[in-house]
Homo-oligomer: A and B are copies of this chain.
Amino acid sequence: MSKVVTFGEIMLRLSTERHLRFSQAKTFAASYGGGEFNVAVSLANYGIPVEFITRLPENEIGACALKEMRKFKVESANVIFGGDRLGIYYFETGAGTRSSNVVYDRAHSSMATIEKGSIDWESVFKDVSWFHWSGITPAISESAAEVCLEAVKVAHAMGITISSDLNYRSKLWQYGKEPNQVMPKLLQNSNIILGDIDTAFFMLGQDKVNPNYQNETSLPVLYDKLYKLCPNLQIVATTLRYSVSASHQRIGGVLYDGKTLFSADVKEVTPVVDRVGSGDAFMGGLIYGILSDNYDKQKALNLAVAACCLKHTISGDCNLITLEEIEKLLKGDAFGEVSR
């Protein structure tokens, strides 16, 4: 199978354990994650060669992030080094009526201060068939947005499939530009877009969609508008998430290929062990599904939804799930049974 490259920031995640609030914690669980890295780990778990591009500080904390990449078989040969610090996010796991809480401390990170021209994308993309980026990278700093644009242009020129997760984070976009000033250029070359139509239109500077859009008749119409705005678009997909509580989610998904709207059954997700990275798990499942030999859009969507559901049972950002477990869930085997 040919290689996938993802590009973005990997952060140190400092989580309280057992639903503790920050003020109760004497220890933080330390793990490493970030949207595009999480996608890479998913793919590595499914046996796809995958490389992650980022910028790390030259200190022991950066070295820990690098070790984590290697541990999960994500290639790191083109990681660049420099800058002051590894970005951090603090995480408090909610429960029931209490939402989970993220405190970002990622400003001034090595990735945020990456410089234009510092990555040789032609070299990175040799023997690569797929490039994935998300809306987080252009949100962290102007230079990160610029490097992302460099990547997208080179990938497109080299005929590489490009996937983009819109991933809007309201706490980012602090450097003076609005998403609609930055994202349209970036999304021009996307072949696969993950995200809800509202976010897509917002990032592309379109008017907000009427809230009643989410029905099977009107969605294709709206998506068709998106296809016009993004001329290379082949597939648009989105998770459908119904949040009963912080501990109980219902997860479905839709996929549109310009002609047909596919949709997947909604699954109950309870309890939620950790929902961070569940969108990345969907993305990983979707890429795998599309890349696999027996490509079938409905199957790819089902796989993406199942991967997303299973991610909610895993601590940390990364979806440490095997293909076998996804298939078991899809087959509807009594999944509460102990395997022994």
Contacts and interface: CB of A to CB of B under 8 A. Distances in A.
B270 A96 contact: yes
Interface in A1-59: 14, 17-31, 59
Of A27, A314, A328, most B-chain CB atoms within 10 Å: A27
Contact of A27 (B27, B72, B270): B27
A339 B102 contact: yes
Contact of A103 (B26, B60, B267): B60
Contacts of A275: 338
A63 interface: yes
A340 B79 CA distance: 27
Given A22-B60, A64-B22, A244-B336, A313 B97 contact: yes
Given A67-B23, A70-B70, A270-B247, A276 B338 contact: yes
Chain A interface size, under 10 / 10 to 19 / 20 to 34 / 35 or more: 35 or more
A222 interface: no
Interface in A233-267: 243-249, 267
Contacts of A73: 70
B22 A99 contact: no
Contacts of A121: none
Contacts of A20: 315
A269 interface: yes
B104 A340 contact: yes
A219 interface: no
A248 to B, nearest CB: 7
Contacts of A247: 270-271, 336
A90 interface: yes
Given A23-B67, A101-B338, A269-B97, A84 B60 contact: no
A295 interface: no
Contacts of A248: 270, 336
A60 B26 contact: no
Contacts of A249: 336
A321 B268 CA distance: 28
A203 interface: no
A300 B78 CA distance: 33
A312 B96 contact: yes
Contacts of A306: 97
A337 to B, nearest CB: 6
A26 B30 contact: yes
Contacts of A284: none
A105 interface: yes
Nearest to A72: B67
A243 B102 contact: no
A339 B101 contact: yes
Contacts of A154: none
A48 to B, nearest CB: 16
A108 interface: yes
Contact of A14 (B28, B63, B104, B329): B28
17 contacts: A23-B320, A28-B30, A60-B90, A70-B71, A71-B71, A84-B105, A84-B107, A96-B270, A96-B273, A96-B313, A97-B309, A97-B310, A97-B313, A98-B310, A98-B321, A99-B328, A249-B336
